[in-house]
Chain A
Amino acid sequence: MAFFEMVKTALKTVVRRPVTILYPAEAAKKTPLTRGHVTIDESRCISCGTCQRKCPAQAIVISKEAKTWQIDRLRCVVCNSCVDTCPVKCLVMDTQYSSPVTARSVEIVTITYVKPPKPEKKDEPKQ
């Protein structure tokens, strides 16, 4: 049976600097792998629809005719599935968390990808 075992730890915490950070005045600690929110590079998206099929929360909706890519930030669980499966790698996971909102809405992005024209077929002599 020992008495006053905690005194050593308590005195150390009094003397040392505080371990908490003054958030939001100081930025939160983030690592390169932190999953914050999904961003898209609209000039590379080919509207294949893979991200919409793989999303477990059904947060992404793509419209090929209207050329839009929309995401419901409140449904998204930042699981990284869409980023992993995108065939042209136009989706990137940013490390900042999405900011709080006061009303439910979806974020709509217009796709500006232009398919490059096919190179002209030259007549090749048969060998």
Chain B
Amino acid sequence: MSKQIIVPFGPQHPVLPEPIHLDLVLEDEKVVDVVPSIGYIHRGFEKLVEKREYTEYVYIAERTCGICSFVHGATYCQGIEQIMKIDVPERAQYLRVIWSEYSRLHSHLLWLGLFADSFGFENLFMSAWKIREGILYVMEETTGGRVIQGSCKVGGVRRDISSEKLDEMVKDLDRIDRDMKELTTVFLKDSSIQHRLRNVGVISREDAYHLGAVGPTARGSGVAIDTRKLGYGAYDRLNVHVVTESCGDCYSRCAVRANELFTSTDLIRQAAKKIPEGPIDVKVTGSPDGEYFMRAEQPRGELVHYLKGNGTKFLVRSRIRTPTLTNIPALLKMLQGCELADVPVIVMSIDPCISCTER
């Protein structure tokens, strides 16, 4: 048996957007075992629920993550509304869907850029982020913030989008669609990328399901779970198309996310056509008393917010379980048996958002 050496990967590594530590046990360039270690960015968010009232905690829930921040805020608000049995007006639900899908677009484009950077294709990285700038400008025009939107509150949304602005946004989507088509053609067809990504980091369908993989990590192996099918918010009135691939390697996961970009633009067009006139919020009085598990589809997978209140203004418990936390065991399975040079590509292919994981 050849000698085993241990190589530490992270927490500082040029390919990682956020710090995670993996101890790789190697035998002659092949990875035999992996030991993860997290906790570099643990900020104790869940303890803050005792110090901030439930209406103010929205701002904290949003700041759990910089990439997927809108979905965290919207899920928290929906959880509280479900406990307090508040009926949110329809226009607010459609607005939340529109902003969530824009958030998904920007997150997938960010990931496509970072993924291209991880196998050395800098030009593609910059092209993806160029398209993303247009989307961030739309977010800033409608909510006031590029990264942290601050537009959800318990009982509805804080800002409205006028119908002229909605028409302008839908017309702009045609140009964005054209640019994204050019970008995804490179990802899916180019031979140098296929050489790098095919049969790398393979995980089978049964393993992906039983190890708890969610989101594009599971959909790349053929497991068709998408939490948007639950029908929260306005999703039960819209047609959600679930994208799956069957090979379970890095190329499939990349293809799932690239094709989901077009699902998102389609959902925005559907929502903009169906959105009714009306109020955007309701008045909220009282305090939450009860508990609920609110599930939503973040760009990375299934997000669970567990909220428990006991009738006072401060919640008893807020537990956030993010998709990257549950994708880590699947990552450990994927890394066994791969080459050392493929490790950055495989770690990036699950879309690690460690600041969500380590709230």
A and B held together in a complex: yes
Q: Which residues of A contact B (CB under 8 A)?
A: 1-6, 8-10, 13, 19, 29, 31, 33-35, 54, 56-57, 77-81, 84, 93
Q: Which residues of B contact A (CB under 8 A)?
A: 52, 56, 59-60, 63, 121, 123-124, 127, 130, 133, 137, 140-145, 148, 150, 158-159, 182-183, 185-186, 189-191, 194
Specify which chain A residues have a CB less than 8 angstroms from the CB of B142 in the assembled complex.
Answer: 33
Which of the residues B127, B141, B190 comes within 8 Å of A33, measured between beta carbons? Answer: B141
Which of the residues A5, A13, A56, A79 comes within 8 Å of B52, measured between beta carbons? Answer: A56
**Provided the pairs A19-B130, A56-B52, A56-B60 are in contact, do residues A2 and B143 lie with their beta carbons within 8 angstroms?**
no
Specify which chain B residues have a CB less than 8 angstroms from the CB of A34 in the assembled complex.
Answer: 140, 144-145
Task: Report the separation of the CA atoms of residues A54 and B59 in the bound assembly, to the nearest whole angstrom.
Answer: 12
**Provided the pairs A29-B137, A33-B142, A80-B144 are in contact, do residues A56 and B182 lie with their beta carbons within 8 angstroms?**
no
Task: Report the separation of the CA atoms of residues A9 and B116 in the bound assembly, to the nearest whole angstrom.
Answer: 15
Which of the residues A33, A77, A84 comes within 8 Å of B59, measured between beta carbons? Answer: A77
Specify which chain B residues have a CB less than 8 angstroms from the CB of A1 in the assembled complex.
Answer: 189, 191, 194
Specify which chain A residues have a CB less than 8 angstroms from the CB of B124 in the assembled complex.
Answer: 6
Report the minimal beta-carbon distance from B6 to chain A, rounded to whole angstroms. Answer: 38
Task: Report the separation of the CA atoms of residues A50 and B141 in the bound assembly, to the nearest whole angstrom.
Answer: 28
Task: Report the separation of the CA atoms of residues A102 and B190 in the bound assembly, to the nearest whole angstrom.
Answer: 49
Report the minimal beta-carbon distance from B66 to chain A, rounded to whole angstroms. Answer: 13
**Provided the pairs A6-B190, A79-B59 are in contact, do residues A35 and B144 lie with their beta carbons within 8 angstroms?**
yes
Task: Report the separation of the CA atoms of residues A31 and B139 in the bound assembly, to the nearest whole angstrom.
Answer: 10
Report the minimal beta-carbon distance from A110 to chain B, rounded to whole angstroms. Answer: 28
Which of the residues B59, B141, B190 comes within 8 Å of A5, measured between beta carbons? Answer: B190
Which of the residues A4, A9, A93 comes within 8 Å of B182, measured between beta carbons? Answer: A9
**Provided the pairs A13-B127, A56-B59, A80-B158 are in contact, do residues A5 and B186 lie with their beta carbons within 8 angstroms?**
yes
**Provided the pairs A2-B189, A9-B182, A33-B142 are in contact, do residues A56 and B194 lie with their beta carbons within 8 angstroms?**
no
Task: Pick 26 A–B contacts, CB within 8 A, sort by A.
Answer: A1-B191, A2-B190, A2-B191, A3-B191, A5-B186, A5-B189, A6-B124, A8-B182, A9-B123, A9-B127, A9-B182, A9-B186, A13-B127, A19-B130, A31-B144, A33-B144, A34-B145, A35-B150, A54-B56, A56-B56, A77-B59, A79-B59, A79-B150, A80-B144, A80-B150, A81-B56
Task: Report the separation of the CA atoms of residues A76 and B281 in the bound assembly, to the nearest whole angstrom.
Answer: 25
Closest to B124 in A: A6
Report the minimal beta-carbon distance from B172 to chain A, rounded to whole angstroms. Answer: 14
